[in-house]
Amino acid sequence: MLLRGLILGLGLLLTQIVYSPVNAKEPNIIHNLPEAISDKLTIAQVKVFGQATTTGWKLLSGSAEAKNRTYIVIFGKNDDVLAGLYKFIDETKIQSASFTALGAVGSAALGFYRAQDHTYSVTKIEKQAEVASLVGNIGMKNGKAVVHTHGVFSLEDGSCLAGHIFFASVWPTVEMTVIENQTAPIRHEDDESGLWLYDTKAQ
């Protein structure tokens, strides 16, 4: 009985040590948004606002010569999705593609385009959110590859916020599949909307 009591006591002590909050590692989640992201942005103010130091990717199929590559892109903790995507584009030289992703973020900034004054109203998410959907494409604008992406982000209570993605700080991961197109569509400035849109008839 004494031995059994000692074993049970030791087991309880080890359980307290392993599951003690004191020993739990506090996650380093960035909930703050860059100061340059205001409540309203003009088209000229839109840029890559964040950084990405741990984004990586792997070729799943295809070749650069055939322009039919499929990649998986993994964004690490506190990487900005936009910054990571442009890093990926710079390295792989992809000029045209579509992509989808899921994961979670610690913060994000989303835009709603106001046609009446050609500005974006910005919705700020400064807490943990699930990436319920993230879609977009890569195309050419003035000879350079550019990203256009929208996302839906779900909060703890099940509500969702959505819009054009300006910034999304990953935590703990975002997993993306990128599928290359063989022909790169070109964006041209549309005077009426003020945006750079695809024109299927343009060269």
How many domains, the chain?
A: 1
Interval 51-62: pLDDT, tens: 999 999 999 999
Distance CA 95, CA 190 (A): 21
Distance CA 178, CA 98 (A): 6
Domain-located, residue 87 = yes
Residue 160: which domain range?
Answer: 27-198
Domain-located, residue 107 = yes
Domain-located, residue 112 = yes
pLDDT of residue 201: 76
Domain-located, residue 105 = yes
Distance CA 72, CA 69 (A): 10
Domain-located, residue 19 = no
Which domain CATH number covers 96?
Answer: 3.30.1330.80
Distance CA 43, CA 185 (A): 21
Domain-located, residue 186 = yes
pTM: 0.86
Domain-located, residue 20 = no
Interval 153-169: pLDDT, tens: 999 999 999 999 999 99
pLDDT of residue 19: 43
